[in-house]
Each structure stands twice: as structure tokens, then as C-alpha cells.
Amino acid sequence: MLEFEAKIKIIVIGLVLTMLSAVPIMAQEMICEYCQEEIGSGEYFNLDGKYFHAGHLFCTYCDKPIKSEFNYSGDEYYHLKCYDKHVALRCDLCGEKINGKYVTDYWGNKVHVSHQDDGEPECAYCGRFIGEQLSRGGYRLSDDRIVCGICNETAVSDDDAAQFLMSEVGDVMATLGINVDIANVTLHLVSKPEMTQKSEGNGDGHLGLTTSKYEAETRKLVGGSQVFILFGLPKYSFIKVMAHELMHVWMAENRCVKGSKIISEGSCNYTAYLVLQKYDHPNARYELDSMERSRSKTYGSGFRALRAFVEDYGFDFWLEYIKSNRELPSKTNIRAD
């Protein structure tokens, strides 16, 4: 999230003699910005060198004359009540006016920075703060993950929906030239503890996992592949993870050597990146942006290194290269950062 600061100017009407202090009124010509007439004695407004007769300054919101204290920003002027009720920046989480620092999430929601400092819950998958108006509420899943109401609307929590999306992602990958035998893939929706158990304690934070068995000498795949994905992922998070895991399956089916994490995980994330680009949806774009911004050495810079490699050498070369090479060329690894 990005941090900003809201600044409000409050101006009080003044008198000519007070505003000019000891300077005689005739020594300085003041022209009203509204009527272009000279301002003589009496009340007036001085806004950073712009002068207005007391009755010639109008509220930008209600278009009625301003006669006392007001707010202004640039060339816009507001009665205090008009500003507070209709214009003032308000927190999208609590609804209160924002004065000072605030944070803005990917979706443009503006929230008091204090909510972030106080540890208000955020959705694990879209980054929104949990609130009725902001995220349509939220839910705590059985394995303690927190998901907002918006993401929960497309949550993949049953086998039929998961199987459908696996076939869909497989079809998209096929259009790219990455063919996976979906019939030899067994899909399991699991909880976080189950994911950790399946990955032998190394899966904390993982959204997906693929296991495959090979013949020792030939590296021929035996018995197909098992794909495990956390239940309850919102649709486009699920699609990203599914594309990633199906690329692991492709690598198993094509007897790729066991490469470095940049080769293996970078290739899988790059495939997810290509698949997500096929979807014209805000949540797909959010997932793509998250991949671009990821600071993970493996899933962030590793993915970007792999993408740089494909840009340099070509798509078909990449698919052949990862079958027999454990590392990317050194210059590509340098480009990863």
C-alpha cells in the first residue's frame, strides 16, 4: 500500500486594515478576481495573492457566496460544511474524515494509516481491509485464513468447480503451445495444515504443490501427477496457482532435469503470467501486478529472470532449454534483479 497525507487549508475572512497592517490602503491596488473591480475599504479575501470582494467568492460545491471560514485547494473554494459533508477525503474503512496520513491500496481505497498500524485484518488474496462497505465483510476459513467478502464470492471450494477450472487452464495453456495431459492429473483441494503435511513441513505459505513419481533411470512418469491446491482461493488466484502447478506437471511429463528454483519455479510462474494475460478481468490484473511487485527471490525475481530469458531467446527455445539445463545463462540471472 502507498502512503499519502491529506492537507486542508482553512481561511478566515479578514479586514483591509488588518490584512495590510501598516500599509496604507491606496499604496497597493487590489483587484477582485471575480468582478475585476478595485477593492476599497471593507471585507475581502486574500488567497495567496488573489483578492476577492467579500461577496464575490463562491463555494465550488453549492455555488453560494462564502461569508466566513472556508476550505480551499487550488482554485476550488468550499464552505466548511459543504467540504466536510460532500468533498472531504474519507476513510473507506471507517467512513471518518481523513486528516493527515493515509494509505491507498491497489484498488484505490483510502484508509487511515492508523488502521494499518493497529493491525486491522486484511484479505489474504486481494489486500483489501476487511469491512462491510469496503470488502462486503469477510470470513475466517477453517484453517484461519482471512478472506474478504468480494474474494469469497468466487472462492473455489468444491471439487467440481476446481476440476472445471483445471480443464479451462489446461485449454489456455494448450493455445500457448504447452500441452498437459489433464487426464493423468489428480486434483486435491486441501487446507493449510494438509498442505504443510504434504510438503513435509516446507509448505507453509504455499498455495499449491505438485508431486510426481518417476522411474529412476529413465525419468519416465509413473502413475500421473498429484496436484494439491488450497481450498477457498478466489477464482483468479486459483487460476494462477493452477497454471503454475500444471507447468510442473508439464515438466514431469517431458522428463525435464531437476533445475534450480529459478528454472523450475520461474518457469511455472512465467506460465501463470502468460495464462493470466488471457483474462480481461480486474482480479487477473491484480494477480499480474502482484507478480511484478513480488520481492521473493524465487517467485518474484526468478519469474522476472525467466521472462527476460524468453524475451532474449524465444518461447520455443525456452521449452526445449528447461528439459536439459539446470541454470539460466548468467547474464539472464543478472537481469533478474
As a whole number of angstroms, the distance between CA 39 and CA 53 comes to 7
Beta bridge pairs of residue 43: 15
What percent of the chain has a predicted confidence (pLDDT) above 70? Answer: 88
Average pLDDT taken over every residue of the chain: 87
Taking the whole predicted model, whether its pTM rises above 0.75 is answered as: yes
Smallest CA-to-CA distance from 115 within 128, 106, 125 is with 128
323 φ/ψ sector (left φ>0, alpha ψ -120 to 50, else beta):
alpha
User: Above 90 in pLDDT, residue 322?
Assistant: yes
Q: Where are the beta strands (DSSP E) in 194-234?
A: 208-214, 221-230
How much is the pLDDT for 31? 92
Residues in the chain: 337
In the chain, the domains with their CATH numbers are: 2-87 (2.10.110.10), 101-152 (no CATH), 159-335 (no CATH)
pLDDT digits 0-9 by tens, 30-77 = 899 999 999 887 888 888 888 998 889 999 999 999 988 888 877 889
Mean pLDDT of 285-300: 94
The sign one gets for the Cα dihedral 125, 129, 135, 140 is positive
Query: What is the pLDDT averaged over residues 241-257?
Result: 95
Retrieve residue 116's grid coordinates: 494499518
- Whether residue 9 has pLDDT greater than 50: no
Which tens digit of pLDDT belongs to each residue from 168-180?
999 999 999 999 9
